[in-house]
Chain A
Amino acid sequence: MKHDPYSLTGLIRNEEFIAWVMHPDELSDRKWRAFLEQHPRKRKTVESAREYVILLAKDTGRHQPTQKQSNRMWSIVESHMHEDAPKIPEQEPAVVFKTSRGQGWRWARVAASAALILSIGSVSYWFYYKRADNPVRDVVAREEADIPNTIQKYNDTDKPMTVLLQDGSSVVLQPGGRLSYSEGVNRKRREVTLTGKAFFEIVKNKQKPFLVYSYGLATKVLGTSFTIDASSESKDIKVEVRTGTVSVFSINNLDNNQKEAVLDKPELEGVTLNHDQRIAFSKESGKIIQLPAVVAVASDKDVSKQHFVFDETPVSEVFRILENAYNVRIVYDREKMGSCPLNATLIGQPLTEKLEVICNALDAQYEVADNQITILGKGCK
């Protein structure tokens, strides 16, 4: 093409000119200033060309993803990083739940599990629990997913969102938080991926450790309650333990075999945290540092700060506390049940277990559907 290389379009297309505008250095600066001195009439052209190059760069870069999209993409990518090859579904034994009073409960899962979601248009699960009058009658039926599919829960409301997992564990997801997990994939581990902040209450299962992945940090528990703050904006991830024991370790520089071994082990490795201890994990360096313990101030709205100790507390008050802590609605017969007293310490137990205990005391049952929990029973009158 026969064109003046120093015309407007010539300059805009010129490799050296673009380099000078976008990444100036001493060499290019000298060269172009010399050029301008020799051709003073080109000054305006050069300035125009410069402006156009910058505008072109800016405008062609306008389609970057929103923070929300960014988080979503990372969440999905990360959840694929820890997949096992799908295994042949085995018959899984019924999960036996023991209350703090030592009574055995057996609950059957009829369909997929239920989760409480407070934003519109989300998928709901259902939990159905039957009273174990006759253990033989209970049927354990579970839908086994042959193909692992990733489930994502995103809290785009401004209130906490409670998610119930397949094993009965509960996760209170703070606004902006995103939780993703696969159902029925891994027989050896329970795994979720988190961006944002959430409070976890995990059902004890020694055979199946529970793992939370967040930006390269793995938090592993057997059964306990803790908070993970893995917001995309902050440089550090914080883990704080409420009850039980948690181990954290970074999944870097571990080869595949090592990694599988560490993740599968029922024992806890890495840095171990106990009640009220916390650490910070730097996303950049991968280092784990212990932080000073925090004095837990009981707060109505923050589930992770509550004690859930009830001493002759009327059930209406207990339900009110649960409603606030988990941001759920509990429907019950106030007349029959409201004033029944409850003695229990429910700290560390997932929401569903808390409900179990309360229902056990009330001789009642609970049902989770859509956005609310319904308590059915005769009460104590």
Chain B
Amino acid sequence: MIQIATSTGETKDHDLWQRIRVGDEQAFTAIFEKYHRTLYNYGSKLSTNSSLVEDAVQDVFIDIWRLRHNLTENVTSVKFYLYRALRRRIHVALDKFPSMEEISKLDDEDTPANHTHSEAILIEVESSSMRAQRIQELLAQLPERQLEALTLRYFDDFSIEEIADIMGVNEKSVRNFIYKALTSLRQSREILLISSLIFWMLLFF
């Protein structure tokens, strides 16, 4: 299979990967340097146990080095490989079973109602600082997989297809996770709008 790199970042990773396969320590150091922080960040969404996450990140890299001569030559993207490995490792450590994935597939059929008309009002009212704060609150309360999907999408820049592969679900589920996460954002916005309207009303009457 001919690998066509979509960006210079990927070409560079591909080169480093080949060098690791022949035992180049410097290339390995470079890959570690480039990805270990974002990997740790991702891992933290899967487990709040920081030692567990640290160990998992370490193990991913230790294993890559240990098995460097057996690494697959054609890796789609190094980043993708690393994230998948980390997720597997953390889930094994947490003793999670694949059956959990099956159950949530049922959620796919939900189609939430259309809220477009209320959005126009909401946008006028909001200020930047309120947005920032709300995002933080929202993210802190999200169910794990929704947060995971959001992180992989917005911070780690993976495509829906890649996220589906990493999380071991289908693409529809991924879109669903993201949609639900953003929907809860909207709902909390409405509550804030209503309470601020009430506040203003009380001021004037």
Interface residues of A (CB under 8 A from B): 1-4, 7-9, 12-13, 15, 18, 22, 44-45, 48, 51-53, 55-65, 69-70, 72-74, 76-77, 80-81, 215-216, 250-256, 259, 283, 286
**Chain B positions 96-125 with a Cβ under 8 Å from a chain A Cβ:** 111-112, 114, 116, 119-120, 123-124
Q: Known contacts A9-B179, A70-B36, A80-B66; can you find 10 more A-B pairs with CB under 8 A?
A: A1-B179, A3-B116, A9-B119, A9-B186, A45-B119, A53-B154, A65-B36, A76-B58, A80-B62, A253-B24
In the assembled complex, which residues on chain A have CB atoms less than 8 Å from the CB atom of B120?
45
Interface pairs A-B: 5 shortest CB-CB: A63-B44, A60-B151, A61-B155, A56-B154, A60-B155
In the assembled complex, which residues on chain A have CB atoms less than 8 Å from the CB atom of B178?
13
In the assembled complex, which residues on chain B have CB atoms less than 8 Å from the CB atom of A57?
154-155
Tell which of A7, A58, A70, A253 touches B116, judged by Cβ atoms closer than 8 Å. Answer: A7
The answer for the CA separation of A253 and B27 in the assembled complex, in Å, is 10
In the complex, the number of residue pairs spanning A and B with C-beta atoms less than 8 Å apart equals 132
Residue from the set A8, A62, A76, A255 with the largest chain B CB neighbour count within 10 Å:
A8
B78 at the interface (CB under 8 A from A): no
Tell which of B22, B123, B182 touches A45, judged by Cβ atoms closer than 8 Å. Answer: B123
Chain B 19-63 interface mask (CB, 8 Å, partner A; 1/0): 000111111110010001110110011000010001001100110
In the assembled complex, which residues on chain A have CB atoms less than 8 Å from the CB atom of B36?
65, 70, 73-74
**Chain B positions 58-114 with a Cβ under 8 Å from a chain A Cβ:** 58, 61-62, 65-66, 111-112, 114
In the assembled complex, which residues on chain A have CB atoms less than 8 Å from the CB atom of B136?
59
Chain B minimum-CB-distance residue to A81:
B65
The answer for the CA separation of A229 and B183 in the assembled complex, in Å, is 52
Chain B minimum-CB-distance residue to A215:
B29
Q: Are A283 and B29 in contact (CB under 8 A)?
A: yes
Q: Are A56 and B23 in contact (CB under 8 A)?
A: no
